[in-house]
Structure 1
């Protein structure tokens, strides 16, 4: 146990006390097949790295565009089975490949990926096939941090917010994932560019917070904290099952929840 704790503390210090290496493990799974119409988009970041994006087109006229942020450790192609029910329900899905994954260049860190996400949202809302429809942001697990961040950074571009299995902050999740003996040290030395539970308090968007009470990766109590801190029109949907598995286990219910959120966002209008 002592050696494991010492190793974790060393990782913290080497990674700039942000646990970036732990939050962005490279997924070695084979690529899943993608069907249907998909467009790839490359955007150059301010530091000169090329970041890859995907726009998945639905079979019929889209009713909204959803910018989906996947969990860390997975390429976009391996998230296709998760977003497939949304595409089949005529949602247009935009996704960003995190730095160091797939064809995206660079090395991921919390701050750099957040900047990439902001740039991607600014690009997305300028597209002619997006301008005339609502834009929702959705994030699962780590991706929920990005969804909250971009909704807070650009409220004028976002109509509604969805998070699933999302933690209150990077530091909270790093501490929760560490042995009990190490947790106080993790919280003491951890640095993070933003804290989701603070940002969500400023949002006025209609939001849906999805979380399993059986989640062993991110405790349900974090969803309760995010829900309590949120001040906009909000819903906490408590489910059962594994971490961020709701779209696989409950696709019809999930799509129905998002359809309802879309209706509420149209009544609410874009946040100012």
Structure 2
């Protein structure tokens, strides 16, 4: 069963998402979307299958993203990590489960890496198509022209017809956090099982980032490079390989 949800973040704004609820479960999975993505696409594909495998699944959209309240122009990664806590609080208050798995994709993997060590409720974490350092990531998310616009105008404007963020502005404060938030420092404080997954043909984030993440992380940890897969694991054979390995990691005691 899939049901829409709505809950408050720490600023009192409504965040919206979906719960995928099987008849029986003892493990919950929260999927954290990327930037400037949404809870649809990769998140929906993964959790639709996972709920059929017996996991309680949650996907939601961050503050200022698509269906959730807040302005896109005011987005911050620091707010997104606060949103993760609000999501877990909501899930814990409304459902009973024994284990909690945090899955982040792309910028969602950044958010997960920054947050996971802060919350003892998280049993395991999975980072998909992530980066090891935000100073690297700034060059993956923004072109040189966009960086120049941040400095000259104080914002950029997205021109992506058909996308939910078409014609929306993003203030420089989002860019600035790439130089203040610290993934290695956060990850070194995390001691629960960690799975790092990356496509060898990722066109957005080089696969070397996965190897660097693995080098930084504490044990127990595992890395999986899916041969030929792109940033979103769009081909069906890559999706199946991804899902199978995520399932094995989650179920392993």
TM-score greater than 0.5 by the shorter chain: yes
Instruction: Report how many residues are paired.
Output: 221
* Residues 73-102 of structure 1: per-residue CA shift (max 9 Å, x gap): 233234422432222222221112122333
2:235 and 2:93 map into 1 onto residues whose CA distance is: 29
2:243 and 2:26 map into 1 onto residues whose CA distance is: 12
Is contact 2:114-2:186 (8 Å) kept?
Answer: yes
Judging changes above 3 Å, is the alpha-carbon distance between structure 1 residues 55 and 141 closer, same or farther for their aligned structure 2 residues?
same
Judging changes above 3 Å, is the alpha-carbon distance between structure 1 residues 249 and 69 closer, same or farther for their aligned structure 2 residues?
farther
Q: Is residue 219 of structure 2 the alignment partner of residue 255 of structure 1?
A: no
2:34 and 2:203 map into 1 onto residues whose CA distance is: 15
Q: Scaled by the length of structure 2, what TM-score is found?
A: 0.77
* Residues 25-69 of structure 1: per-residue CA shift (max 9 Å, x gap): xxxxxxxxxxxx2222222223231111321113x4225210111
2:127 and 2:192 map into 1 onto residues whose CA distance is: 13
Secondary structure of the 1:191 match is helix
Residue in structure 2 matched with residue 5 of structure 1 by the alignment: none
1:215 and 1:254 map into 2 onto residues whose CA distance is: 14
- Which 10-residue stretch deviates more, 167-176 or 231-240? 167-176
Which one of 105, 113, 138 corresponds to residue 148 of structure 1?
Answer: 113
Residue in structure 2 matched with residue 191 of structure 1 by the alignment: 177
Residue in structure 2 matched with residue 65 of structure 1 by the alignment: 28
- Structure 1 runs not aligned, ≥5 long: 1-36, 267-272
Secondary structure of the 2:5 match is strand
Residue in structure 1 matched with residue 55 of structure 2 by the alignment: 91
What is the CA RMSD across the aligned residues, in angstroms?
2.7
The 5 A counterparts of 1:37-56 are 37-56=1-20
Which one of 217, 232, 237 corresponds to residue 244 of structure 1?
Answer: 232
Residue in structure 1 matched with residue 96 of structure 2 by the alignment: 130
2:122 and 2:10 map into 1 onto residues whose CA distance is: 23
Is contact 2:229-2:238 (8 Å) kept?
Answer: no
1:82 and 1:261 map into 2 onto residues whose CA distance is: 14
Q: Scaled by the length of structure 1, what TM-score is found?
A: 0.72
Residue in structure 2 matched with residue 215 of structure 1 by the alignment: 202
Secondary structure of the 1:95 match is strand
